[in-house]
Amino acid sequence: MQFAKRLDKIPPYMFAEINRKLHEMVAKGVDIINMGVGDPDRPTPTHIVQAMHSAIDDSATHNYPPYQGAKDFREAAVGWMERRFAVTGLNPNTEVVSSIGSKEAIHNTSLAFVEQGDYALIPDPGYPVYRTSTIFAGGNLHTMPLLAPSFLPDLDAIPLEVARQAKLLWINYPNNPTGATATLEFFEELVAYCQQYDILLCHDHAYSEMAYDGYKPPSVLQVPGAKDVAIEFHSLSKSYNMTGWRVGFVVGSAHGIRGLSQVKTNVDSGVFKAIQRSAIAAFSTGEEELLAVMSVYQKRRDIIVKGLQSLGWDIEPPLATLYVWVRVPQGYSSTEFVTLLLDKCGIIVPPGNGYGEAGEGFFRIALTVADERIKEAIQRMKDAGIRYA
């Protein structure tokens, strides 16, 4: 039987392809250093795992959860927003909904708000789900190039007729894949823009806690009035080494939350209550413990940046995220260079153009392998004669 035509419009998910290659090489006996997908290699902190042990022993967690998330989960999320960003006054009944990680919520937000003829404004390079969910919803894409050095979208470059037909504007700071950060002043500009054109501002804050050197990323909801036009997607995946648990929440505009919830009630049945209780434990993670988790990535970031500098790259350490965004040497396309790294060095990294056209000329390194393996990766590049200049 034929697949539905809509699948013809969706490119294969990049990491599904990369995984296929990885398994092929491993089967051939190649010792692969996988710095591809942003999946933390470290365990979930003990207090969260312990909360799961007691939650799962309580049979009250075993039936269907409330669609919008348990009341105590939503209240804990609101409390965390208040402690972490000083965002007060959020209503846990109307302005928060649990999500099965952010990926699901991003997809379902497009289904809730975008229809044929509508535009979604998406960053390029950007997390691929903004693009594919818009296509699934039948909408039009308008890409906002994120160019060096700031990697911020230029709002003035968006044509007026596109802005008028746009329903959603996606942003993500700290940014995957570029590692760039945004200021509260920039968020103010975005909020004003979305107010002017009646657009729902969707801030994907998957890396809100993954920051280094004392930097604390702001929330878009810190901007006065943002709650009228913005929703923010939070995920416990990266911050607490919980990618496999599938839990997050969306917070902000009651209208945005209502639309998303209407799709979700028809598509999924919420997050396992035991996982919600574990997430509540995660929200209470102390500053010291979080710093301990982040210091592992910060050290890896420093090793990779120093290593690349020693091979001729002119590169600064990113302030946030799990990623280092690196230019390919002259004479190579992104795809050619990552293929070279795989064939000559057994290193897996995604090509920048996998995140959109404007990612051409770059590749992304994920800080998800141990220090020794990063050093080994640099050594392999050196041995293969790979240099930037």
Ligand X SMILES: Cc1ncc(COP(=O)(O)O)c(C=O)c1O
As measured in angstroms, the least distance from the Cβ of 331 to ligand X is 30
Q: Interface with ligand X includes 208 (CB under 6 A)?
A: no
Task: Choose the binding region for ligand X from 74-82, 100-108, 117-125, 359-367 (rule: CB under 6 A).
Answer: 100-108
Q: Which residue in 73, 80, 119, 127 binds ligand X (CB under 6 A)?
A: 127
| Cβ proximity to ligand X, 37 vs 290, nearer residue | 37
Q: Interface with ligand X includes 222 (CB under 6 A)?
A: no
As measured in angstroms, the least distance from the Cβ of 359 to ligand X is 14
Q: Interface with ligand X includes 318 (CB under 6 A)?
A: no
Q: Which residue in 237, 261, 285, 353 binds ligand X (CB under 6 A)?
A: 237
Q: Interface with ligand X includes 248 (CB under 6 A)?
A: yes
Q: Which residue in 103, 131, 273, 300 binds ligand X (CB under 6 A)?
A: 103
Binding mask 1-40 for ligand X (x = CB under 6 A): -------------------------------------x--
Whether cis (ω within 30° of 0) applies to the bond prior to 224 is no
Burial of 37 (0-12, 13-18, 19+ CB in 10 A): middle
Q: Interface with ligand X includes 98 (CB under 6 A)?
A: no
Binding mask 167-196 for ligand X (x = CB under 6 A): -----x---x--------------------
- Residue 222 amino acid letter: Q
Task: Choose the binding region for ligand X from 45-53, 95-103, 291-299, 305-313 (rule: CB under 6 A).
Answer: 95-103
Q: Interface with ligand X includes 128 (CB under 6 A)?
A: no
- Residue 18 amino acid letter: I
Q: Interface with ligand X includes 220 (CB under 6 A)?
A: no
Q: Interface with ligand X includes 203 (CB under 6 A)?
A: no
Handedness of CA 295, 203, 36, 276 (dihedral sign): positive
Q: Interface with ligand X includes 123 (CB under 6 A)?
A: no
| Residue 171: closest CA among 213, 126, 136, 208 | 126
Distance of CA 330 to the CA centre of its chain: 29
Q: Interface with ligand X includes 109 (CB under 6 A)?
A: no
List of residues contacting ligand X (CB under 6 A): 38, 101-103, 127, 172, 176, 204, 206, 235, 237, 243, 248
